[in-house]
Amino acid sequence: MKSFVLPKYYESKLISEIKNIRTEKEKRTDYSPTKISIGNLNFYIPKYFGFCFGVKNAIEICYKTIQENPNKNIFLISEMIHNPNVNEDLKKKGIKFLQESTGKKIISWDEVTKKDIVIIPAFGTTKENMDIIKEKGIKTKSYDTTCPFVTKVWNRGNELAKKKYTIIIHGKPEHEETKATFSNFDENIPRIIIKNIKEAKELSKYILNEKLPNFKEKFKGRFSSNFSPKKDFKKIGVINQTTMLAEETKEISSFFENIMNLKYGEIDGKNHIANTRDTLCYATNENQTSIKQLINLNIDLAFITGGYNSSNTSQLVKICENYFKTFFISSEKKLISKNEIIHFDMEKKIERIQKNYLPNKRKINFLITGGASCPDSVLERLLEKICKYYNQTINKKKIIEEFKSNY
């Protein structure tokens, strides 16, 4: 796999080293967790976590662009990735953000000229934004950080569109990637966004021509112009926002297969739905599969680190919350003291303060991990902070030597 040149401060002496050893020595399909024991503390870390291929690619392009263009205005359409630590560092280095991740404008396109550099974020961007860039004569080939796995989804979707399939996008309607995916089709291609299996079941009623409330109200703002439920569900293909729960995308695809079999019969049904499981992102799948390997362990407390608007990180939180007491934090800085933590409530979309959050027992098992846009250095500082609260000393050299001896 391609190697990347990234800022050293995103790496760590312990976490990154162990990750590299496992990557080099083990089969890719070995999803067993890493265990680091420090005194009476056990830290379990999933096999796969942190920067994925697409994020590394985006970070390398951004920092290389900064280094090679010290006297130019450099703009990012929105957050490059959903990690506050990385985005703040880019801002400190002079990159200007044109809009927030919600789409709210920060800087007008009127302030951008042909001489400026515009970086496309890892999620990709909408056709509308690309049209503005082209109209201004700005070249983006060297500054497009769109994840290749996102591009793969777009390409697959357009292949299906040419074969007259209606595109069903499993994603969050407000997410930059889903917005970009939706817009990267010709306007006349029928397509619709659904958030989850519940909405898939709602949509199936229209596919089966059941009498239902107004379709346009039910899926307002999430379908293409001139979409017709009566004629546009004859052939369908499901593609996804790459950071959604992989198992849910598979469940939705299987569900629609059954619906088309019900409508057209088992023999003919397969001709009305495309097999799109090859579009699932490997990194999302590996991160989620890795964390599921810990569900049968006696974990006392789980910390999931990443941006609060990070879809892939929130999926990891959802998995853990089903099994362990879990805190979703943006970095180790949210551990205010050994008695107080600030964490994110995904349901209420707010930060909360929790008192007396650390376990008080003789042996403690922690799970720590980060989303696909979380630097290894953040996880290491988290581990160090927890150890400090329990008065435990970390001998990183000894831990690495013992880990290497296992191979």
Positions marked catalytic = 177
Report the C-alpha gap between 59 and 350 in whole angstroms. Answer: 28
Do the beta carbons of residue 262 and residue 208 sit within 8 Å? yes
- Residues 258, 264, 268, 270: is their CA dihedral positive or negative? negative
What are the tokens at 38? 């420090």
237, β-bridge pairs: 167
364, β-bridge pairs: 41
Report the C-alpha gap between 331 and 374 in whole angstroms. Answer: 9
Report the C-alpha gap between 222 and 89 in whole angstroms. Answer: 34
Amino acid at 242: T
Report the C-alpha gap between 257 and 209 in whole angstroms. Answer: 16
